[in-house]
Amino acid sequence: MNKTTVITRAMVVILACPVAWGKVWAENCLDADSQSEMNFCASNEAKETDRELEAVYKKLLKKIDPEDQARLRAAQSAWVVYRRKQCEFNTSGSIGGSIHPTVLAYCYAYFAEQQKKILQEQLECEEGNLSCAGHGRSE
């Protein structure tokens, strides 16, 4: 694949994904003047989204019993591997291009945002909801 094709595909991904990625695509990153600035900005956005996910994860851990804590830790560890592998696949079209770090960072941020929503739903479950950790068991 030639360099022009890689860059074109990466730009299509970058320009198409803000719609799908919602808040993950920060407005200030769109104003970056260079690829290195875009990479830096995207990396910061991914780190911030990971911090938000970590905060929800820690709150949920405090709310659930030790048995469910072990389940959540195992699930989260598996999710980290899944996200890495999925983003490696999703962004393979930009490998070798200077835009790849940006595309990869936004992929990580997208999945972190989705996982944060999933954990937040668990955190906010109403008592008796059997689809939530720790609910419905006899005490």
Q: Domains in the chain and their CATH numbers?
A: 3-25+34-121 (1.20.1270.180)
Q: Which residue has the higher pLDDT, 77 or 138?
A: 77
Residue-by-residue DSSP string for 78-135: HHHHHHHHHHHHHTGGGTTSTTHHHHHHHHHHHHHHHHHHHHHHHHTPPTT-TTSTT-
Contact at 8 Å (CB) between 104 and 91?
yes
Structure tokens, 65:
């019993």
Q: In the prediction, which pLDDT does 18 show?
A: 46
Query: Which of 64-73's residues contact partners 24+ apart within 8 Å by CB, and which partners?
Result: 64/133, 64/134, 65/134, 68/133, 68/134, 71/133, 72/133
> What confidence tens digit (pLDDT) does each residue in 17-76 have?
544 444 444 556 777 788 888 889 899 999 999 999 999 999 999 999 999 999 999 999
pTM: 0.75
> What confidence tens digit (pLDDT) does each residue in 84-96 have?
999 999 999 999 9
- Give the confidence band of 5 by pLDDT, cuts at 50, 70, 90: low
